[in-house]
C-alpha cells in the first residue's frame, strides 16, 4: 500500500461509512470464502435488530475471488440471501463446469500419454487446460444487468475486478460504478484503474491462472491487450477498495498458516529435493497469497499510527485511517486437497501424475483445480468454522453500519 493510496483515501469523504469486501484468488480454494460469508450472513441476520440488507458497499475481487464478487454484485438486491445463493451455486459446481483437458480417450489410460497430451495442449493454446466451460457457467449464473441495477438502486456503490496484462505488464483494476457517480481513476507505477461496465471477459481475464488457463483479450487505452490472472504482480490488494472510498475493509484470503507443514523437515535425513508438484504449489502460493498479509499488516500499521496522533494534528492531515479485518484459513488447504485429490477428473489426474506433479506437495497444485463436491464442501465448512470462531470481531466490524 503506497503513501499515495493513503493520501487519496483520506481525500475521499463519502457521506456514510463504506464497508468493502475484498476476495482474493486461488481457484477452487475460494470455496473457503463462501463458508466465511455464509456464516457472516447468519450472524448478522440473528443479531437483535439486524438488517437483511446487503452489508457491503464496495466489492473487490481477484482471480476466482472476482467470480465470487461478480456473483454477489448480481444478487446484492437480495440482501443477505446473496450469500446463501452463492453457496448454492458452489454446491452445484464441478470441474467440468470450469475446465476440460482435451485428451484422447485412449491416452487417458496411460499417464505418460496423458502427460504428452498436456504438453501438446500447452504448445497449441498457450495453456494446459481449456476454460471455455467456465464461460458458459458464468453466463448462466451471473446476470450482468443485475449488477447495473444493484448499482442504480444503491444496493452497492462499486464493484471492481483485477487482471494483469501480459502485453504491457500493467496490473489493471476494472471498476463498475453507477453512471454519473464515478470515482477518479488512479495510476501508480505498474497499477492502473479503468472505469467500464464489467462483463464475462473481465472475469475470464482475472481468473486466467498462468499456465493452466489461456490469456483473455481486453480493450484498454484504445488497444487490445492480453490479460491473465489478477493475482500476478498484485503488490497492493487493498488499494482498489481504498481508492473506492472504503472506511472498513474485510478481506478473505485463501492462504494457509504454514505451507511447509507438508514437507519433510530440513533436519530430517530422509528429506528430498522438491517434486514438480511441490515446486508448482510453492509458485502458485507466491502468486496468489504472499502479498496479502504484508499489505494487511501495512494498512493496520498506518491506521494505528494515525489513531495515536493528537486529534488536532490528525484533523489537518490528508489521511484517513481504514480499519482492516483479514480472515484466512486456520488449516492447511493443501492437506485438505490431498485427501480429495482422487476427485479430480481422471484425465487431469493422470496427466498431472505423468508429470509427477501429484507427489511431494502435489495437493497444493490440486487444490486450485478441485472444483468437486467433497473438496468444496470441506472448504465451505472450514470457512464457517473460522468465521464463527471470530464472531464477536466480525460483528463489531459492522457496528454503526446502516446495513
Q: Please give the pLDDT value at position 118.
A: 65
Residue 229 CB neighbour total at 10 angstroms: 28
* H or E element that contains 218: strand 216-220
CA distances from 143 to 86, 146, 223, 249 (A): 13, 5, 27, 26
Q: Which residues pair with 195 in a beta bridge?
A: 175
253-270 pLDDT tens trace: 998 655 444 444 444 544
CA distance 213 to 114: 18
Asked if 380 contacts 92 with a C-beta cutoff of 8 angstroms, the reply is no
Average of pLDDT values for 287-294?
64
The residue extents of the domains of the chain are 19-256+275-398
Active site residue 229: yes
The strand pair at 191-195 and 187-188 is best described as antiparallel
Confidence band for 11, pLDDT divided at 50, 70 and 90: very low
pTM, two decimal places? 0.86
Residue-level length of the chain: 403
Cα-only R_g, the chain: 21
DSSP 250-264: EEE----S-GGGGS-
In the structure grid, which three cell numbers stand for residue 308, read together?
A: 495515536
The angle subtended at Cα 240 by Cα 238 and Cα 244, nearest 5°, is 120
pLDDT at 120 over 60: yes
Q: How far apart are CA 380 and CA 373, in angstroms?
A: 10
Q: What is the pLDDT of residue 261?
A: 44
Q: Residue 30: its pLDDT value, please? A: 96
Query: Which runs of consecutive H residues, i.e. helices, occur in 110-243?
Result: 111-125, 132-141, 144-152, 200-206, 239-243
pLDDT band at 403 (very low <50, low <70, confident <90, very high): very low
386 belongs to the catalytic site: no
Residue 53 pLDDT level (bands cut at 50, 70, 90): very high
Q: Specify the DSSP class assigned to residue 186.
A: -
- CATH hierarchy code of domain 19-256+275-398: 3.40.1090
Determine what percent of the chain is predicted with pLDDT higher than 90. Answer: 51
The top-scoring range by mean pLDDT among 108-122, 197-211, 264-278, 346-360 is 197-211
Neighbours of 188 (CB within 10 A): 17
Supply φ then ψ for residue 69, to 5 degrees.
-65, -45
pLDDT for 63 equals: 93
**CA nearest to 162, candidates 283, 28, 293, 64:** 64
pLDDT at 186: 85
Query: Does the pLDDT at position 356 exceed 80?
Result: no
Active-site residue (options: 74, 206, 229, 401): 229
- What are 230's three cell numbers? 489478477
Mean pLDDT, to the nearest integer, of 339-350?
85
User: What is the mean predicted confidence (pLDDT) over 235-252?
Assistant: 90
Amino acid at each position: 500500500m503506497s503513501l499515495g493510496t493513503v493520501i487519496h483515501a483520506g481525500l475521499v469523504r463519502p457521506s456514510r461509512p463504506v464497508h468493502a469486501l475484498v476476495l482474493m484468488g486461488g481457484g477452487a480454494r475460494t470455496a473457503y470464502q463462501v463458508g466465511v460469508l455464509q456464516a457472516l450472513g447468519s450472524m448478522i441476520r440473528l443479531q437483535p435488530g439486524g438488517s437483511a440488507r446487503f452489508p457491503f458497499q464496495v466489492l473487490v475481487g481477484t482471480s476466482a475471488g472476482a467470480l465470487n464478487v461478480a456473483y454477489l454484485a448480481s444478487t446484492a438486491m437480495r440482501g443477505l440471501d446473496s450469500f446463501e445463493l452463492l453457496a448454492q451455486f458452489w454446491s452445484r459446481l464441478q470441474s467440468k463446469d470450469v475446465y476440460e483437458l482435451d485428451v484422447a480417450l485412449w491416452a487417458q489410460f496411460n499417464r505418460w500419454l496423458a502427460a504428452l497430451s498436456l504438453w501438446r495442449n500447452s504448445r497449441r493454446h498457450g495453456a494446459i487446460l481449456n476454460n471455455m466451460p467456465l464461460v458458459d457457467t458464468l453466463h448462466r449464473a451471473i446476470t450482468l444487468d443485475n449488477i447495473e441495477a444493484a448499482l442504480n438502486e444503491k444496493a452497492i456503490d462499486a464493484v471492481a475486478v483485477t487482471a494483469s496484462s501480459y502485453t504491457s505488464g500493467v496490473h489493471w483494476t476494472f471498476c463498475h460504478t453507477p453512471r454519473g457517480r464515478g470515482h477518479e481513476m488512479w495510476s501508480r507505477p505498474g497499477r492502473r484503474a479503468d472505469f467500464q461496465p464489467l462483463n464475462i471477459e473481465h472475469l475470464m481475464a482475472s481468473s486466467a491462472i498462468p499456465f493452466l488457463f489461456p490469456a483473455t483479450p481486453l480493450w484498454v487505452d484504445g488497444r487490445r491487450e492480453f490479460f491473465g490472472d489478477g493475482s500476478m504482480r498484485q503488490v497492493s490488494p487493498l488499494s482498489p477498495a481504498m481508492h473506492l472510498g472504503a472506511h472498513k475493509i474485510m478481506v478473505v484470503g485463501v492462504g494457509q498458516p504454514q505451507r511447509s507443514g507438508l514437507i519433510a523437515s530440513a533436519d530430517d535425513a530422509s528429506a528430498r529435493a522438491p517434486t514438480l508438484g511441490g515446486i508448482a504449489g510453492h509458485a502458485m502460493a507466491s502468486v496468489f497469497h504472499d502479498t496479502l498479509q504484508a499489505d494487511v499488516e501495512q494498512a493496520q500499521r498506518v491506521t494505528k499510527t494515525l489513531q495515536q496522533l493528537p486529534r488536532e494534528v490528525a484533523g489537518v492531515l490528508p489521511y484517513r485511517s481504514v480499519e482492516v479485518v483479514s480472515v484466512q484459513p486456520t488449516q492447511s488447504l493443501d492437506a485438505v486437497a490431498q485427501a480429495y485429490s482422487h476427485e479430480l477428473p481422471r484425465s487431469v489426474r493422470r496427466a498431472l501424475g505423468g508429470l509427477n506433479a501429484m507427489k511431494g506437495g502435489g495437493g497444493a497444485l490440486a487444490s486450485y483445480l478441485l472444483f468437486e463436491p467433497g473438496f468444496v464442501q470441506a472448504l465451505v465448512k472450514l470457512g464457517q468454522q473460522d468465521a464463527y470462531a471470530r464472531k464477536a470481531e466480525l460483528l463489531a466490524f459492522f457496528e454503526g453500519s446502516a446495513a
